[in-house]
Amino acid sequence: MKRLLTICLLMTMGVLGALAQGENYQNDAIKNIMTRTSIRKYTDQPVTKAEIETLLKAGMAAPTAVNKQPWHFVVVTDKAKLKELAGNRGRMLEQCALAIVVCGNLEKAMPGKAQGYWIQDCSAATENILLAANALGLGAVWTGVYPIDERVEAVSKAVKLPEHIVPLCVIVIGHPAESPTPKDKWKPENVSYNEYGEH
């Protein structure tokens, strides 16, 4: 009896582990979202030009306010340039195959107070790239740049951005040399229905 209980417990733990990793999701798109995780260690295997183009196409498929598409993507594959970009991001950028600097083009952004929508548009593009990387079997991590002035200045200098192009983030990309378990971030207490605090 004790052995049977142990087997049942182990099976239950296996099912719960699968659920935590999103393996119960039948829809591929949902499973891709739920299994995406930040990768910070990479092999030296290159990423193909076709894969890079797929990542960029995914980024440009993101929704954007009034279809302004106020973004510009700088793909960095040069090892010396990646090292220059590294800054306080540790060895990730020295190990990875490439980085994509996701930038806002202020000349394409909406006028006035609505100009700040470029941040949302470029954030949506960034998430699309992260999801596309996961779907391709690549690893990636979003490293923040904007609005920290020193980071904006350092990245802008490294990739020679003109004043109207503002770096939002640097996405580090490559073939993963680690496989962390995706975090279960579902917290019902962070949800209200109809009014704040109503559950």
The pLDDT assigned to 108 comes to 98
Distance of alpha carbon 61 from alpha carbon 53, whole angstroms: 12
Mean pLDDT of 113-121: 98
Distance of alpha carbon 140 from alpha carbon 143, whole angstroms: 10
Cβ neighbours of 67 (radius 10 Å)? 7
pLDDT tens, 59-107?
A: 999 999 999 999 999 999 999 999 999 876 668 998 999 999 999 999 9
Mean pLDDT of 168-183: 97
Alpha-helical runs (H) found in 36-172: 49-60, 79-86, 92-95, 117-135, 149-158
Residue 26 — very low, low, confident or very high, per pLDDT cuts 50/70/90?
confident
**At residue 24, does pLDDT exceed 70?**
yes
The pLDDT assigned to 8 comes to 38
Place of tokens 């929704």: 63
Which of 178, 64, 76, 75 lies closest to 128 in space, CA to CA? 64
Distance of alpha carbon 28 from alpha carbon 167, whole angstroms: 31
pTM: 0.87
The pLDDT assigned to 7 comes to 35
Q: Give the angle 159-177-90 at the CA atoms, nearest 5°.
A: 40
The pLDDT assigned to 199 comes to 86
Residue 14 — very low, low, confident or very high, per pLDDT cuts 50/70/90?
very low
**At residue 23, does pLDDT exceed 70?**
no
